[in-house]
Amino acid sequence: MALFSKDIQTMDDLFLHALQDIYYAEKKIESTLPKMIQKAGAGPLRDGFESHLDETHGHVERLEQAFTWLDKTPTVVSCPAIDGIIREADEIAHDISDQSVMDAALAAAAQAVEHYEITRYGTLIAWAREMDRNDLVELFEATLKEEKAADSRLTELAEARLNATA
């Protein structure tokens, strides 16, 4: 989250900024995942990306719900972190000729994306709890659960690769 200190003086300001940051990130992921799906080999990696794209639409909707509950219009702030992570995921979606190497690289890029989301939703949940906003805690916990599950599926794929080569 690109924080401009003049705008951020209270925890409420910080929270709103974090929300705008992850809203930007989820929308960027929504537009990037289709390219990763095209590059992924058939099978569980591609299936995983496809089901995570469906989940991502839901994450965007939950964030819009959070803005509404806070009486704010959904807006984004640019975020150098997710831009950098996605640029990597995107750059890798070029022409490595070996599909198996490509899949390993795509899965690693996707895990970096998941971990960024896991840390940001973890922070939002901690701050929402501090602000006594259990409605937001529950909303973000539902998303966090899906992000962690997506990360675990990617770890399982890496382990399956290992078993296949062992």
Q: Of residues 18, 22, 29, 33, which one binds its own copies by CB under 8 A?
A: 18
- CA dihedral (60, 65, 69, 72) in degrees, to 10, reads 50
Q: Of residues 58, 129, 134, 142, which one binds its own copies by CB under 8 A?
A: 129
> Which two three-digit tokens encode residue 35?
């390219």
| Using rule CB under 8 A, residue 79 touches its own copies | yes
Query: Kindly report the CA angle at 54 between 51 and 58, in degrees rounded to 5?
Result: 135
Q: Of residues 101, 138, 142, 145, which one binds its own copies by CB under 8 A?
A: 101
By CB under 8 A, how many residues form the interface with its own copies? 53
Q: Of residues 53, 81, 137, 149, which one binds its own copies by CB under 8 A?
A: 81
Q: What is the spatial distance between Cα 83 and Cα 85, in angstroms, rounded to a whole number?
A: 6
> Which two three-digit tokens encode residue 38?
């095209």
Contact 103, 41 (CB under 8 A): yes
Positions touching its own copies (CB under 8 A) are: 1-5, 8-11, 13-14, 18, 79-85, 87-88, 91-92, 94-98, 100-101, 104-105, 108, 111-112, 114-116, 118-120, 122-123, 126-127, 129-130, 155, 158-159, 161-162, 165
